[in-house]
């Protein structure tokens, strides 16, 4: 048997196909009314099991910050080099987010730099939202992000930018952000609760590294001859810092050159 970190190339190819088509292997779930969402999700065995195992834990994570899991909006931030995923939340009628918990990402392929084409094995970088829910994923539970977004459609390969990028369980992935199954259960519950509470767009912000870290500076030095990637990372840092100043979300749009604008 191969370990999950010693999988040969032909198996990686199969994983890529399954990860990309995971939405087809189970259900890409979209509720017709937000009031139906949690009820419908709980009809799936894995979601029900996740609630049975982790609902008390996720409620405590929220309540420790003075929040109610069923009346909160959430935000996720990912830092690729650190292999960390942050879960943030605020009251539905509030504006300021609080950091709830930082999860360890178990597996993610590629390196620093955005995803730009099919088969580059990169985890995207940029400002995304969740657009798919798969309670019967080949990788336990999965949440799809809206890559390619408006920026990617300008800056990535126009014919074949790739797609089907997920946050999921099972600790193995090509281009996705893979957690172990216990964390994905908590994260999935938090997303179900937020959507049921009326949050239509759940943001996922993905950075190459923490901009305040030495790792960020090392990446800048390593890529000092690549003006394009340095400009892109500076654009991401601007968005990171805009959120960091007040812990409120700026309005994010994309210009004709594919750069993010923050208001």
Active site residues: 168, 176
Q: Which residues contact 10 (CB under 8 A, 6 or more apart)?
A: none
Beta-bridged to residue 132, according to DSSP, are 144
Q: Is 223 exposed, middle or buried (0-12, 13-18, 19+ CB in 10 A)?
A: middle
**Whole-angstrom Cα distance, residue 251 to residue 45?**
37
Find the radius of gyration of the CA atoms of the chain.
18
Helix axes 34-41, 181-196, angle to 10 degrees: 150
* Among 132, 144, 139, 143, residue whose Cα is nearest residue 171: 139
**Whole-angstrom Cα distance, residue 177 to residue 179?**
7
Q: Which residues contact 38 (CB under 8 A, 6 or more apart)?
A: 192, 193, 195, 196
């Amino acid at each position: 048997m191969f370990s999950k970190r010693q999988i040969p190339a032909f198996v990686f190819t199969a994983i890529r196909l399954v990860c990309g088509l995971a939405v087809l292997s189970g259900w890409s779930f979209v509720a017709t009314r937000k009031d139906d969402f949690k009820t419908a999700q709980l009809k799936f065995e894995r979601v029900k099991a996740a609630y049975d195992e982790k609902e008390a834990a996720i409620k405590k994570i929220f309540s420790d910050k003075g929040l109610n899991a069923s009346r909160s909006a959430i935000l996720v931030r990912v830092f690729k080099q650190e292999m960390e995923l942050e879960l943030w939340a605020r009251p539905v009628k509030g504006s300021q987010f609080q950091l709830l918990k930082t999860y360890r990402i178990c597996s993610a392929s590629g390196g620093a730099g955005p995803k730009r084409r099919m088969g580059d094995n990169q985890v995207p970088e940029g400002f995304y939202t969740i657009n798919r829910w798969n309670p019967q994923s080949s990788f336990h539970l999965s949440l799809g992000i809206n890559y390619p977004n408006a920026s990617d459609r300008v800056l990535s390969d126009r014919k074949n930018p790739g797609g089907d990028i997920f946050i999921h369980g099972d600790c193995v992935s090509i281009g996705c952000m893979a957690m172990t199954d216990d964390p994905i259960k908590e994260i999935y519950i938090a997303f179900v609760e937020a959507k049921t509470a009326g949050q239509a767009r759940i943001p996922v912000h993905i950075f190459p590294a923490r901009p305040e870290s030495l790792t960020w500076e090392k990446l800048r030095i390593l890529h000092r001859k690549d003006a394009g990637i340095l400009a892109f990372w500076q654009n991401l840092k601007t968005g990171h810092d805009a959120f960091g100043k007040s812990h409120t979300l700026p309005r994010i749009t994309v210009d004709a050159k594919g750069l993010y604008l923050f208001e």
